[in-house]
């Protein structure tokens, strides 16, 4: 399977930032023999807070055109409305994506689909902010019905009321189910927005490859610390190239049923590790309260009640043994931490 690699900054900040990022990515790609399929940048950023940097806007299009002409890499941008489609076409940009915030609104998505109808554009559709596969599929179908030949999906994770170790909860089963329902549709992963932190990205990128994703969209910035948006999740171009060249891409024959089960298991592991981490943080707070009030760290009766509540599995003796050991370990670790 040929993979699709997309890299570029979160936002188009300035002419020099775009050209500099493109130069570094192109150089790194050449050095490591990586075929960069598309250079990405957000000209119009949809931000939650009103004072956040919202991209350079229309002014970014000639800069992006310059990137395209100088490095011969097709550029892709996020579009929010029909007017953006027109502006892109005017500047020779024919690859666009619909972002997660637009993707929640099928009325807006339909307007964009009408605007790109029969245009020969390539359109990527990010998952909506809510974990609703039907909505995601509906958006994809709007572009297929608009005679767009090249439609792709991008999995970027889902914001969650529950805290997660990642910026967005992965719910891997959702894009995998999309693969089951639309086997011909290329599905990419965007580990940058999924993770929200640069250090998580390589392992999540590898996980996506193991699950048979068709490519990756990665945010890169020549100076991530100075980035005007998503500073924590943008990679240096050299780190990006290093990561791509170290990916293990041997999963081509992996069975979809097995991938489905594994990805569901990964969701569970993700939740367990998130909860355990939260629990340890909670323990620290409780320790502080106990210290202030001169209460002893160990309160055996209370813990015995907990054990009693969660070890009622006589029908499954091996689980019973496991959960007893596990709770014991949890208890001991909490006590050590409080001390």
- Using CB under 6 A as the criterion, which residues of the chain lie in contact with ligand PEP when the complex forms? 10, 42, 78, 99-101, 126, 156, 193
Q: Specify the residue, 10 or 88, whose C-beta has the smaller distance to Mn ion.
A: 10
Measured from each CB, the residue nearest to Mn ion is 10
Q: Specify the residue, 122 or 334, whose C-beta has the smaller distance to ligand PEP.
A: 122
SS3 250: coil
Q: Specify the residue, 101 or 111, whose C-beta has the smaller distance to ligand PEP.
A: 101
User: How many beta carbons lie within 10 A of that of residue 53, not counting itself?
Assistant: 15
Name which of residues 191 to 230 contact Mn ion (CB under 5 A). Answer: 230
Q: Which stretch binds Mn ion (CB under 5 A): 3-11, 52-60, 249-257, 321-329?
A: 3-11
* Distance in angstroms (rounded) separating the CA atoms of residues 214 and 256: 14
Measured from each CB, the residue nearest to ligand PEP is 99
Instruction: In angstroms, give the least distance from the CB of 100 to ligand PEP.
Output: 4
Query: Would you mind telling me the total number of residues written for the chain in this entry?
Result: 339
Q: Specify the residue, 7 or 87, whose C-beta has the smaller distance to ligand PEP.
A: 7
Residue 176: DSSP 8-state: H
Q: Which does 126 bind (CB under 5 to 8 A by kind): Mn ion, ligand PEP, none?
A: ligand PEP
* Distance in angstroms (rounded) separating the CA atoms of residues 155 and 178: 10
Instruction: Indicate the burial class of 192 (C-beta count within 10 angstroms; 0-12, 13-18, 19 or more).
Output: buried
Instruction: In angstroms, give the least distance from the CB of 193 to ligand PEP.
Output: 5
DSSP 55-117: --GGGHHHHHHHHHHHH---EEEE--SHHHHHHHHHTT--EEEE-TTGGG-HHHHHHHHHHHT
Task: Please select the residue that binds Mn ion; options are 4, 6, 7, 10, rule is CB under 5 A.
Answer: 10
Q: Which does 198 bind (CB under 5 to 8 A by kind): ligand PEP, Mn ion, none?
A: none
Instruction: In angstroms, give the least distance from the CB of 99 to ligand PEP.
Output: 3
Contact 82, 111 (CB under 8 A): yes
- Residues of this chain that bind Mn ion (CB under 5 A): 10, 230
């Amino acid at each position: 399977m040929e993979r699709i690699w997309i890299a570029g900054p979160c936002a188009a900040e300035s002419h020099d930032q775009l050209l500099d990022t493109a130069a570094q990515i192109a150089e790194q790609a050449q050095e490591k023999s990586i075929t960069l399929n598309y250079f990405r940048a957000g000209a119009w950023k949809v931000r939650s807070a009103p004072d956040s940097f919202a991209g350079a806007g229309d002014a970014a299009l000639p800069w992006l055109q310059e990137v395209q002409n100088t490095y011969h890499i097709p550029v892709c941008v996020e579009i929010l409305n029909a007017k953006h489609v027109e502006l892109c076409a005017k500047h020779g940009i024919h690859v666009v994506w619909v972002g997660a915030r637009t993707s929640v609104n099928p009325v807006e998505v339909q307007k964009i689909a009408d605007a790109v109808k029969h245009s020969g554009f390539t359109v990527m559709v990010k998952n909506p902010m809510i974990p609703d596969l039907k909505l995601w599929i509906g958006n994809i179908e709007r572009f297929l019905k608009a005679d767009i030949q090249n439609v792709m999906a991008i999995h970027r994770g889902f914001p969650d009321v529950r805290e997660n170790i990642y910026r967005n909860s992965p719910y891997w089963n959702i894009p995998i189910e999309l693969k089951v329902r639309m086997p011909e549709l290329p599905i990419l992963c965007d580990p940058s927005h999924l993770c929200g932190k640069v250090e998580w990205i390589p392992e999540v990128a590898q996980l996506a490859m193991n699950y048979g994703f068709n490519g990756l969209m990665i945010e890169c910035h020549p100076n991530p610390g100075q980035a005007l948006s998503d500073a924590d999740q943008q990679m240096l171009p050299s780190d990006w190239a290093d990561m791509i060249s170290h990916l293990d891409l041997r999963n081509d024959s992996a069975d979809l049923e097995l991938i489905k089960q594994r990805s569901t298991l990964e969701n569970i592991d993700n939740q367990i590790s998130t909860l355990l981490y939260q629990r340890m943080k909670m323990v620290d707070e409780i320790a502080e309260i106990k210290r202030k009030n001169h209460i002893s760290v160990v309160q055996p009766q209370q813990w015995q009640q907990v054990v009693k509540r969660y070890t009622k599995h006589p029908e499954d003796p091996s689980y019973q043994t496991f959960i007893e050991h596990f709770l014991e370990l949890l208890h001991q670790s909490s006590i050590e931490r409080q001390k």
